[in-house]
Amino acid sequence: MDALIVIDVQNDFCPGGALAVEGGDQIVPGINGLLNDAPIRVFTQDWHPAGHSSFASTHAGKAPFDMVEMPYGPQVLWPDHCIQGTEGAAFHADLRTDPADLIIRKGFRAGIDSYSAFFENDHETPTGLEGYLRTRGATHLTFVGLATDYCVAWSARDAKRLGFDVTVRVDLCRAIDLDGSLDTALADMKAAGITVSDGQR
């Protein structure tokens, strides 16, 4: 591994949060342990303005987990979550964030969501992470965090498409699993040539 990329381990994705992922907090000790071995450590933070277009509350007559068509394609509508500066957007209190070399924020443009750490959901607007990793000489990226089937999978697939070697440690991820989205994400990652590892051997 050259770089460990810790995706969105924030309060709103942990039990008690606005978009809680079952067991989201259980991965924190394991991620803390991996930080020691990683030469490059990047954390991401989902970081939305209030009234973000991915929030169901922004769309009259819509409920969380409904779908809408956005100019850049289909979009799931979520409960309000990870609003900039709120406690929900903060990292889980037990996550060791001091070792982070870089914290990259995404989803800060009101009109477009950004699951991936590399590109917003139009698959075109870059976050800048690719340039950071290339200039630091990273070739092999390991992904952990939340959620397996959204921000982790989209980040891993973009990384692979960009030519990085990619491992996803699924034992250190947890999923939202909307309508089979976890199985679909795992199959898509494997088909793309991503190493999906449970951390054994």
> Contact region for ligand VGL (CB under 6 A) — 93-101, 146-154, 160-168, 181-189?
146-154
Alpha carbon distance 175, 1 (integer Å): 23
Shorter beta-carbon distance to ligand VGL: residue 27 or 147: 147
Q: Of the listed 106, 113, 149, 173, which one is catalytic?
A: 106
Q: Give the integer Cα–Cα distance in Å for 87 and 151.
A: 20
Nearer Cβ to ligand VGL, position 8 or 158? 8
Instruction: Give the Cα separation of 130 and 126 in Å (integer).
Output: 8
Question: Is 8 marked active-site?
Answer: yes
- 151 annotated active-site: yes
Distance CA 60, CA 93 (A): 35
Phi-psi region of 55 (alpha: psi -120 to 50; beta: other; left: phi over 0): beta
Q: How far is C-alpha 88 from the chain's CA centre?
A: 15
Q: Are 21 and 174 in contact (CB under 8 A)?
A: yes
Which residue, among 165, 26, 179, 52, has the nearest Cα to 111 in the 3D structure? 52
Of 77 and 189, CB closest to Zn ion: 77
Q: How many CB atoms lie under 10 A from the CB of residue 67?
A: 10
Q: Residues with Cβ < 8 Å from 183, sequence gap 6 or more?
A: none
12 is an interface residue for Zn ion by CB under 5 A = no
Exactly one of 8, 46, 149, 158 is catalytic; which is it?
A: 8
- DSSP 3-state of 83: strand
Is-catalytic flag, 173?
no
Q: What is the closest distance, in whole angstroms, from the C-beta atom of residue 82 to Zn ion in the complex?
A: 5
Would you count residue 149 as binding Zn ion (CB under 5 A)?
no
Question: Minimal distance in Å, beta carbon 177 to Zn ion?
Answer: 16
| Conformation bin of residue 143: beta by default, left when phi > 0, alpha when psi is -120 to 50 | beta
Considering the rule CB under 6 A, would residue 185 count as an interface residue with ligand VGL?
A: no
8 binds ligand VGL (CB under 6 A): yes
Q: Which of 14, 82, 151, 173 is catalytic?
A: 151
Options 46, 80, 120, 158; binder of ligand VGL; rule CB under 6 A: 46
> 25, 46, 149, 158: which one contacts Zn ion (CB under 5 A)?
46
- Nearest distance in Å: CB 185, ligand VGL: 10
Query: Which spans of this chain sit near ligand VGL (rule: CB under 6 A)?
Result: 8, 13, 46, 78, 115, 146-147, 150-151
The contact set with Zn ion (CB under 5 A) reads: 46
Active site residue ranges? 8, 106, 151
